[in-house]
Chains A and B, each alone.
Chain A
């Protein structure tokens, strides 16, 4: 398996623009997680899915953030409108269980100017 795939790897956008981050989990993994990492706040869980259904979205910072998982092999994290404080590295991870080994993607480095 190729591992967790994320795209794009880097995204630079202007404040107010819509940003869409994409993730393809490892085949067979029922759980998918979206994280955000910054120097100040560390690694934060934003939302996670089980069998394509959102289970816990309490980490989503505000209504500007939304995540979907239309099928078992694809998920998106959308920010609309983006703000400079959204600048961070966004990671997607997948696993067979929420309390066992998670496999992380390479991340998307988002810069909002």
Chain B
């Protein structure tokens, strides 16, 4: 099992701007996942990128993965107030369970 570390801890932007969050991890992975948590709710799976992929898109989300640097980034384009939430990365190893970090708290102001 391994934990991802998100950076920054908090991010505040205006509606319409792009938001970028980063994740670092320490050992080899099979995949890396990003989750969102709205206040008072459970985590919701956003996107999974496999270790042999470098970039993946889903709607306004763009995820990159650099296994040589053991890092990933999540880009949310044209942010909306509804994107306000905490975002977590979770590296998936070849065995063991996911370990969630402290997350990045994103605030999108209208």
Binding site for B on A (CB under 8 A): 4, 33, 35, 42-43, 45, 48, 56, 91, 93, 98-107
Please report the number of residue pairs spanning A and B whose Cβ atoms sit closer than 8 angstroms. 55
Write out, one digit per residue, whether chain B residues 72-110 have a CB within 8 A of any chain A CB (1) or not (0): 000000000000000010001111111111110000000
Tell me if B64 is interfacial: C-beta within 8 Å of chain A: no
A106 to B97 CA separation, bound complex (whole angstroms) = 20
A100 to B41 CA separation, bound complex (whole angstroms) = 20
In the complex, the answer to whether B100 meets A43 with C-beta atoms within 8 Å is yes
Best-surrounded residue of B30, B45, B102 (most CB of chain A within 10 A)? B45
CB distance from B65 to the nearest CB of A (A): 15
A104 to B88 CA separation, bound complex (whole angstroms) = 13
Determine the interface band of chain B, counting residues with CB < 8 A from chain A.
Answer: 20 to 34
In the complex, the answer to whether B99 meets A45 with C-beta atoms within 8 Å is yes
Q: Which residues of A contact B33 (CB under 8 A)?
A: 100-101
In the complex, the answer to whether B88 meets A99 with C-beta atoms within 8 Å is no
Q: Which residues of B contact A100 (CB under 8 A)?
A: 31, 33, 48, 92
Binding site for A on B (CB under 8 A): 30-31, 33, 40-45, 48, 88, 92-103
In the complex, the answer to whether A99 meets B100 with C-beta atoms within 8 Å is no
A42 to B105 CA separation, bound complex (whole angstroms) = 12
Q: Which residues of B contact A45 (CB under 8 A)?
A: 97-100
Question: Chain B residue with minimal CB distance to A91?
Answer: B42
A102 to B96 CA separation, bound complex (whole angstroms) = 13
A106 to B28 CA separation, bound complex (whole angstroms) = 31
